[in-house]
Amino acid sequence: MNQTGTVVILAAGQGTRMKSALPKVLHEICGKPMIGWVIDQALSLSPEKIVIVIGHGGEAVREAAMKSAGADKIECVLQEPQNGTGHALQVAAACIDRDQGNVVVLYGDMPVLSPESLQELIEARNEAGPAGMAMLTAIPEDPTGLGRICRDEDGLFTGIVEHKDATDEQLAIGEVNLGVYAFPAAGLLDALPKLSNNNAQGEYYLTDVPAMFVAAGHEVSTGILEDPDEAIGVNNLMQLAEARWPLQIRILEAHLANGVRIEDPASTYIDADVQIGKGTRILPCTVIRAGVIVGEDCEVGPFTHLRKGTVLENGAEVGNFTETKNSTLGSGTKAKHLSYLGDARIGAGVNVGAGTIFANYDGVHKHVTEVGDDAFIGSGTTIVGPNKLGARSTTGANSVVTRGANVGEDEVWAGVPARKFEGAISAAQLKAEAAAKRS
């Protein structure tokens, strides 16, 4: 009975208040759709399966779910039409096995809930006896719109009343329902067919189930969430923005714990699904998007934007007002100022001068440019892709290396359009001479 058999995620609602054509649960927070955050919550319980109730924009939600972690455990069921949260569970019931332990219900619009709080919910459910259930509540500053928790004179839970159905006296109650429950499978399956839609919204409310447990003489255990951020339910874009920081700080804290030196967390944006090696410094006002991989002892920022597909190998540095996309920078390579690196495959020890542009887009297609080890790209160089700059090659300041010019190894090119300069000393040669003098 201690096992979580099934987690049901309710995600069929339209989310009208988002004022957006995108299904509510597909709105992203820190580079991950809300449904992805809730799937992570579900996975933290190691369930046997996850049932997602889809409806509005169902196909898109299914697609996003199938791309997330734990996709092999996920099953989507269509709720059509959407007649309320209780109806959603009635639809999901076909996927719930009577003797499969606990059923945990999560709402797709509560991305901030932590695995720790869910663990407490499971413990409360197990302590409520084999036929008892547990749920999470909160005491928010403003309970408007939320279901209120009703109790008797002894403080024992009696039921939930939805805002729209509540009397003035009930509206004065500060404790609210969060929509997070742990039921014993059999008790839930027995209660669901008994729901009625005789209420202000004409819907089947899942919130009527706990009172049925009380009526059957079973314990309903309620646990108050300490951290009000975890209770954020995203119904509009304001709440979506509000949910960002509590999730962002968790991501930043995980990197800090791994030895990533983040100078100013408050001005640092790092999405979920970013890898950063230890010893790397992240300087203020930096944005790192999902799918980026940064090695050890790198330096990123200040004011740097690393986009999807960027890989920085150990010791690479990307600095002020530089944007990278789908680009690899080899070990020790530096692009410190005012550059755009798109679809670039750059080797090790390369200097990318201030103001370098990899012009990867011809208006129709994106093109790759390869740069060999120890090349030196002069300030203000524009390289039109597809192109190649050979190992140890040099470009002069402000050169335009036209499409397909393919600069050879050790060659020096300059001008507009850039031409090869026979006999000119390359930056790599200068560097070798300077090193020879020192030793």
Q: What are the residues whose beta carbons fall under 8 Å from the beta carbon of 286, sequence distance 6 or more?
A: 267, 268, 269, 270, 300, 301, 302, 303, 304, 305, 306
Q: How many CB atoms lie within 10 A of CB 169?
A: 9
Q: Which of 87, 255, 305, 337 is catalytic?
A: 337
Based on DSSP, count helices (H) and strands (E) in the chain, helices before strands: 9, 36
Check residue 108 for interaction with ligand UD1 (CB under 6 A): yes
Cα dihedral 165/167/172/176 (nearest 10): -20
Among 8, 30, 53, 260, binds ligand UD1 (CB under 6 A): 53
365 is catalytic: no
Check residue 112 for interaction with ligand UD1 (CB under 6 A): no
Among 41, 83, 248, 394, binds ligand UD1 (CB under 6 A): 83
Site string for ligand UD1, 200-229 (x = CB under 6 A): -----xxx----------------------
CA 207 centroid distance within chain: 29
Query: Could you tell me which stretch among 11-19, 40-48, 95-103, 353-361 binds ligand UD1 (CB under 6 A)?
Result: 11-19
Q: Compare residues 146 and 292 and give the one whose CB is closer to ligand UD1.
A: 146
CA distance 313 to 256: 19
Helix (H, G, I), strand (E, B) or coil at 37: helix
Among 5, 7, 8, 13, binds ligand UD1 (CB under 6 A): 13
Check residue 85 for interaction with ligand UD1 (CB under 6 A): yes
The continuous run of DSSP H or E covering 112 comes out as none
CB of residue 13 to Ca ion, shortest distance in Å: 7
Among 7, 8, 12, 39, binds ligand UD1 (CB under 6 A): 12
CA distance 72 to 79: 21
The continuous run of DSSP H or E covering 431 comes out as helix 427-438
Q: Report CA torsion sign: 196, 209, 24, 18.
A: positive
Q: Which of 132, 226, 131, 214 is nearest to 178 (CA)?
A: 226
83 binds, among Ca ion, ligand UD1, none (CB under 5 to 8 A by kind): ligand UD1
Query: Could you tell me which stretch among 173-181, 265-273, 374-382, 386-394 binds ligand UD1 (CB under 6 A)?
Result: 173-181
CB of residue 161 to ligand UD1, shortest distance in Å: 9
Check residue 82 for interaction with ligand UD1 (CB under 6 A): yes
Helix (H, G, I), strand (E, B) or coil at 59: helix
Q: Compare residues 82 and 387 and give the one whose CB is closer to ligand UD1.
A: 82
Among 4, 6, 7, 10, binds ligand UD1 (CB under 6 A): 10
Strands 281-282, 419-420: pairing is unpaired
Cis peptide upstream of residue 302 (ω within 30 degrees of 0): yes
Check residue 5 for interaction with ligand UD1 (CB under 6 A): no
Among 6, 79, 102, 393, binds ligand UD1 (CB under 6 A): 79
Helix (H, G, I), strand (E, B) or coil at 78: strand
Q: Which of residues 335-364 bind ligand UD1 (CB under 6 A)?
A: none
Q: Which residues are catalytic?
A: 337
Q: Which stretches of the chain bind ligand UD1, using CB under 6 A?
A: 10-13, 53, 55, 79, 82-85, 87-88, 107-109, 146-147, 160, 162, 176-179, 205-207, 233, 235
